[in-house]
Amino acid sequence: MHETSRPTAGQDQSNSRCDDTCDVIVVGAGFAGLAAAIEASTNGASVVVLEKMKAAGGNSIISEGGIAAAGTSRQQRRGIDDSPDLMYRDMLRAGMFLNHPELAREVAVKSAETFQWSIDCLGVEYLDRIDQFGGHSVLRCFTTTDVSGASIIRRQLEKLEELRASVRLQTCLTRLILSPDGTVSGVEVREGFDPREPGSGLTKNLYARRAVVLASGGFGADVAFRSVQDPRLTADIDTTNKASATAEVLVQALRIGAMPVQLSHIQLGPWGSPDEKGYGAGPRFADYVVFQLGIVVDPRTGGRFVNEMADRKQLSDAILAVGLPCIGIADARAVEVSGWDISRAVQKGVVKTFPSLSELASHYGIPPDGLEATVARFNGHVANGCDHEYDKPMLEGFGPLEQPPYYAIRLWPKVHFTMGGVHINSQAQVINLDGRPIEGLYAAGEVTGGVHGACRLGSCAITECLVFGRIAGRNAAARNA
Ligand X SMILES: Cc1cc2nc3c(=O)[nH]c(=O)nc-3n(C[C@H](O)[C@H](O)[C@H](O)COP(=O)(O)OP(=O)(O)OC[C@H]3O[C@@H](n4cnc5c(N)ncnc54)[C@H](O)[C@@H]3O)c2cc1C
- Which residues bind to ligand X, rule: CB under 6 A? 27-33, 50-53, 57-60, 62-66, 149, 172-173, 215-217, 240-241, 244-245, 248-249, 279, 417, 445-446, 459-462, 465
- CA dist 397 and 395 (Å) reads 6
- CA dist 294 and 285 (Å) reads 10
- CB closer to ligand X, 221 vs 319: 221
- CB closer to ligand X, 221 vs 360: 221
Contacts of 407 (CB under 8 A, 6+ apart): 285, 289, 329, 330, 331, 332, 334, 335, 342, 346, 351, 352, 353, 354
Question: What's the CA angle centered on 30, arms 164 and 198, to 5 degrees?
Answer: 105
- CA dist 327 and 319 (Å) reads 10
- CB closer to ligand X, 151 vs 475: 151
Minimum CB separation of residue 361 from ligand X in Å reads: 31
- CB closer to ligand X, 186 vs 299: 186
- CB closer to ligand X, 173 vs 310: 173
Q: Tell how strand 437-443 and strand 351-354 pair up.
A: unpaired
Minimum CB separation of residue 32 from ligand X in Å reads: 4
- CB closer to ligand X, 116 vs 358: 116
Residue nearest to ligand X (CB): 30
Q: How does DSSP assign 191-221, residue by residue? A: ET-BTTBTT-SEEEEEEEEEEEEE-----TT
State yes or no: is 155 an active-site residue.
Answer: no
DSSP 8-state class, residue 51: -
CB atoms within 10 A of CB 76: 11
Minimum CB separation of residue 64 from ligand X in Å reads: 3
Minimum CB separation of residue 74 from ligand X in Å reads: 17
- CB closer to ligand X, 173 vs 357: 173
Minimum CB separation of residue 365 from ligand X in Å reads: 30
CB 126 within 8 A of CB 144: yes
Question: What's the CA angle centered on 442, arms 441 and 446, to 5 degrees?
Answer: 130
Minimum CB separation of residue 51 from ligand X in Å reads: 5
CB atoms within 10 A of CB 196: 7
- CB closer to ligand X, 32 vs 112: 32
Minimum CB separation of residue 187 from ligand X in Å reads: 9
CB 187 within 8 A of CB 176: yes
With helix as H, strand as E and coil as C, how does 26-50 read? EECCCHHHHHHHHHHHHCCCCEEEE
Catalytic residue (one of 312, 410, 456, 470): 312
Give the bridge partners for 131, in sequence order. 141
CB atoms within 10 A of CB 270: 31
Contacts of 175 (CB under 8 A, 6+ apart): 11, 12, 187, 188, 252
CB 439 within 8 A of CB 212: no
Contacts of 236 (CB under 8 A, 6+ apart): none
Minimum CB separation of residue 231 from ligand X in Å reads: 22
Residues annotated as catalytic (active site), given as ranges: 312
